[in-house]
Amino acid sequence: EVQVVESGGGLVQPGGSLRLSCAASGFTFSNYCMSWVRQAPGKGLEWVADIKQDGSERYFVDSVKGRFTISRDNAKNSLFLQMNSLRAEDTAVYYCARGRGYSRHWGQGTLVTVSS
Amino acid sequence: AIQLTQSPSSLSASVGDRVSITCRASQGISSALAWYQQKPGKPPKLLIYDASSLESGVPSRFSGSGSGTDFTLTISSLQPEDFATYYCQQFNSFPLTFGGGTKVEIK
């Protein structure tokens, strides 16, 4: 069974940093692009970042460029999102999703709250 | 970035009704469009990909159509479990973008 499980969310002060992780199982992780999508409380979905299978291509939404980094460890079947210089508007549930473009498999999400 | 405009933003309907939701792209995206259903506290669920391909396991009352800039999600006979929020997403080019969502409520 395909599973992706996010972790690492929590409360952080504005300007702070947080690293999200996504543990994948049930499929050959190194064969798939992976994505992060977020959803602010009561709001719609926003695609955040995407990484190619070997990490050679990475894409970001403009609002996080220069602040967020996406990476992966194929040996450990893990995806990461390093978030720096966090702002109140980054408060959201962050979902890990398998694939580039549309995604069939999503995690349950991890909540990031940026507040003083 | 390609903008997706969904309409309506919300609708009230009864069980058994035929419901249509539209998604308009700010520029042509061929058939690179997906539709998702989301219920409160849950991740999105893929319904339709490539504008009109039904995801495995999704009931046939869901269908998608369109190409270029105009797309439609249709639920032929609304069921109680279909009350949720629906999103379109384009994957023609980065940054990937979602529509603002359509909340389907019980009349």
Question: Which among B76, B77, B73, B75 has a CA at the least distance from the CA of B88?
Answer: B73
CB contacts < 8 A, A to B, total 50
What is each CA distance from B33 to B2, B29, B77, in whole angstroms? 12, 8, 23
Which whole number is the average pLDDT over A2-28?
98
Share above pLDDT 70 across residues of chain B, in percent, rounded to a whole number: 100
Q: Which chain A residues are within 8 Å of B36, Cβ to Cβ?
A: 45
Residue B80 pLDDT: 94
pLDDT at B107: 87
Judge: A108–B32 Cβ closer than 8 Å, yes or no: no
pLDDT the model gives residue A43: 98
Give mean pLDDT, residues B71-75: 98
| Band of pLDDT at residue B106, cut at 50, 70 and 90 | confident
> Chain A window 18-47: which residues touch B at a Cβ cutoff of 8 Å?
35, 37, 44-47
Cα A76 from Cα A74, distance rounded (Å)? 5
Residue of A44, A61, A107 lying closest to B43 (CB–CB): A107
